[in-house]
Amino acid sequence: MPRPVGAGVLTILGGFFVLLGGLLFALLGVVFALFGFLSGVFFLGLVVGFFIIVIGVLILAVPPGHTIFGVLAIVLALVSIPVAFGGFVIGFLLTLLGGILAVTWKRPVERFITVEARTLPPPPG
């Protein structure tokens, strides 16, 4: 079964960069927590990065859902900008490109031509 491998791999790679950016954002949240500013917003980058990796795996595992997963990857790439520094921009770009490739992927057409052999009845006589 053909799969959108390029889209899935780029989305997974972008997810790792977004996860790293989310980790940096979470560490920033820990520093703010030391000064009394507690908020769970700083951990959203980790969640977004994890979801992007899961979507990349789903693009590879469930090819018929490539359009839905591609749109979700694009949306999460945009969400990663404020919550994970866009995965140092490279994560944003890789995830965005992977999502676009997933949306535009088309299943290859099988080019096999099958011909049924017909038998002719013997001539009368």
The pLDDT profile of the chain, 125 residues, written as one tens digit per residue, is: 799 999 999 999 999 999 999 999 999 999 999 998 888 888 999 999 999 999 999 999 999 999 999 999 999 999 999 999 999 999 999 999 999 999 999 998 877 777 776 777 778 87
Question: Tokens 């088309």 — which residue?
Answer: 106
pTM reported for the whole predicted model? 0.86
Burial of 12 (0-12, 13-18, 19+ CB in 10 A): buried
Burial of 54 (0-12, 13-18, 19+ CB in 10 A): middle
